[in-house]
Amino acid sequence: MEFCDDCGSMMKTEGDHWVCGSCEFEKPRDEKQEQAMTTTQGQVSTEIVDVSDAEDQGLPSTKAQCPKCDNDKAYWYMQQIRAADESETRFFICTECEHKWREDDH
């Protein structure tokens, strides 16, 4: 990822140049520098969250319907599972059966 020297906006590649989408500043691409860049493609979160004794871990609770047992209370936490420029995902843990689900699961 490259940022514009003039305005600080994120730049995109166009052929053999970096081009700013905001102010049209251009600079040549440097292949060696780009090879040293870290990408988020293929990165997978390996963090393991122990859901047992969730209350003792200090997790906050909220009103949320468990899809497994219909309990209406769950612990929740946020975790970054996608690229850093995307929002975090909220996970829920049922206070009764400890079933775990994501906010966007249906």
40 or 92: which leads in pLDDT: 92
Mind listing the pLDDT tens digit for each residue in 41-87? 555 666 666 656 555 567 898 999 999 999 999 999 988 877 777 78
In this predicted structure, the answer to whether residue 106 has a pLDDT above a threshold of 50 is no
Q: Is 96 annotated to bind ligand?
A: no
Mean pLDDT of 4-21: 85
**CA distances (Å), 106 to each of 3, 25, 58, 95, in order?**
38, 44, 27, 19
69 is annotated as contributing to ligand binding:
yes
Is 4 part of any known ligand binding site?
A: yes
Vertex 67 angle, CA 65 and 72, to 5°: 20
pLDDT at 9: 83
CATH assignment, 55-102: 2.20.25.10
What is the rounded distance in angstroms from the CA atom of residue 13 to the CA atom of residue 79? 30
Which residues, at least 6 apart from 29, have a Cβ–Cβ distance to it below 8 Å?
A: 13, 16, 17, 18
Place of tokens 């936490």: 77
Domain extent listing, the chain: 1-37, 55-102
20 is in an annotated binding site: yes
Find out whether 97 is annotated in a ligand binding site. yes
